[in-house]
């Protein structure tokens, strides 16, 4: 996964080792980090990006994020990163993994959107017939 900050491009690793580093930093399983991401502080979100970019001790990288991104840029990058940490592979592999993931269709569609995969069409019809 790649991000752009002020015209500079950085690669964010989505390997399992990054998940381990994030869990260690926040002392929570990755799934709980994902659940709490909407209430995370800005510095926590920046930490997640710096861990994935392997720029943990690079104060200039953090400053570049803080000086050039807005909150939406940061939140979007972190959400996509976490989704890619959970669902890696080519498009077909990711689609299969998402289908098997034990959440509702709305949550699956949110994950699909974060990963740039077309969401499944949800039926507007009720599923129970009286």
Residue-wise pLDDT for 32-80, tens only, equals 888 888 889 999 999 999 999 999 888 899 999 999 999 999 999 998 8
Mean pLDDT, the chain, rounded, equals 87
> Do 36 and 66 belong together in one domain?
yes
- 62 and 6 belong to one structural domain: yes
Whether residues 94 and 47 share a domain: the answer is no
Give the pLDDT of residue 54: 95
Query: Do 82 and 117 lie in a common domain?
Result: no
Specify whether 6 is located in the same domain as 66. yes
- Based on the fold, state whether residues 65 and 50 are members of the same structural domain: yes
Percent of the chain with pLDDT over 70: 92
Total structural domains in the chain?
A: 2
Mark whether 67 and 7 lie in a shared domain.
yes
pTM of the model: 0.80
Instruction: Tell me: do 65 and 26 sit in the same domain.
Output: yes
| Domain housing 93 | 89-130
Domain match, 62 and 109 both:
no
My answer on whether 93 and 81 are in the same domain is no
Q: Is the dihedral of CA 102, 19, 120, 91 positive or negative?
A: negative
pLDDT for 122 equals 54
Do 14 and 67 share a structural domain? Answer: yes
């Amino acid at each position: 996964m790649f991000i752009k900050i002020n015209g500079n491009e950085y690669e964010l690793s989505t390997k399992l080792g990054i998940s381990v580093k994030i869990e260690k930093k926040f002392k929570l399983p990755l799934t709980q980090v994902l659940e709490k991401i909407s209430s995370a502080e800005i510095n926590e979100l920046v930490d997640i990006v710096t861990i994935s970019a392997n720029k943990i001790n690079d104060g200039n990288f953090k400053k570049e994020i803080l000086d050039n991104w807005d909150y939406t840029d940061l939140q979007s990058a972190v959400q996509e990163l976490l989704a890619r940490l959970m669902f890696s592979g080519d498009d077909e592999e990711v689609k299969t993994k998402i289908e098997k993931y034990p959440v509702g269709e709305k949550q699956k569609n949110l994950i699909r959107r974060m990963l740039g995969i077309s969401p499944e069409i949800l039926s507007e019809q009720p599923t129970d017939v009286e």
